[in-house]
């Protein structure tokens, strides 16, 4: 990982076994913004799982660029899977079902939309690139 100041890049190639590495690196990068660690970890796990299980990336190569300042956290998630825009190609979850009927599909992108203020997608150089932004509020600092 390349971690300097308020920027950091994670390169992921090992599949689901990368999850402990992601958690460890985020706890370092976001140590001043502890309240953001779990949400960012969640968003990355959901995107990475999608790439691993549905992206048909061969060989798997994901780069995540994180940038933070006093106002915004930006996450740029790039994968070499098949073209896929999760912002429009994912069915929203059905919240009105009973336990017996409830399925998990679509929750990942629902988390991402709920937890960020901006999402955009583009396909460039044979990569899917998803950009997420989250506003940093004073309470983000205070609630360490």
Partner 1 sequence: MLETKLESKAGILVITPIGRLDGLTSKDFLEATEKEITNEANKVVLNLENLDYISSEGLRSVLTTAKKTKSFDGQFVISGPRDGVKEVLDISGFGQMLSVFTTEDEALKSF
Sheet holding 62-68, edge to edge: 2-4, 7-12, 62-68, 72-79, 127-135, 118-124
Task: Please list, in sequence order, all residues whose beta carbon lies within 8 angstroms of the beta carbon of residue 35, skipping any fewer than 6 positions away.
Answer: 139, 140, 143, 144
Q: What is the DSSP-derived secondary structure letter of residue 93?
A: P
Choose which of 9, 33, 45, 67 interacts with partner 1 (CB under 8 A).
45
Q: How far is the CB of 99 from partner 1 (least distance, A)?
A: 5
Stretch of 60-68, 74-82, 91-99, 120-128 contacting partner 1, by CB under 8 A: 91-99
Single out the residue of 14, 31, 82, 102 in contact with partner 1 (rule: CB under 8 A): 102
Q: Is the dihedral of CA 109, 125, 67, 20 positive or negative?
A: positive
Query: Where does this chain touch partner 1 (CB under 8 A) — which range of 34-42, 55-63, 117-125, 127-135?
Result: 34-42
User: How many residues lie near partner 1 (CB under 8 A)?
Assistant: 26
What gap in Å lies between CA 51 and CA 45, rounded to an integer?
Answer: 10
Q: Residue 76 forms beta bridges with which residues?
A: 65, 131
Rank residues 36 and 66 by Cβ distance to partner 1 and give the closer one.
36
In the complex, the residues that contact partner 1 under the rule CB under 8 A are 16-17, 19-20, 23, 38-39, 41-42, 45-46, 49, 93, 95, 97-100, 102, 104, 107-108, 110-111, 114-115
């Amino acid at each position: 990982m390349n971690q300097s100041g308020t920027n950091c890049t994670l390169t992921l190639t090992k599949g689901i076994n990368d999850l402990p590495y992601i958690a460890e690196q985020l706890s370092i990068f976001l140590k001043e913004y502890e309240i953001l660690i779990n949400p960012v970890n969640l968003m990355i796990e959901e995107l990475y799982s999608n790439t691993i299980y549905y992206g048909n990336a061969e060989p798997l190569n994901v780069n995540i660029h994180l940038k933070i300042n006093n106002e915004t956290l930006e996450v740029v998630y790039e994968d070499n899977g098949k073209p896929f825009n999760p912002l429009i190609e994912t069915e929203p979850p059905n919240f009105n079902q009973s336990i017996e009927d409830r399925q998990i599909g679509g929750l990942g992108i629902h988390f991402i939309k709920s937890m960020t203020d901006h999402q955009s997608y583009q396909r460039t150089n044979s990569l899917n690139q998803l950009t997420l932004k989250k506003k940093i509020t004073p309470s983000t600092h205070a609630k360490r």
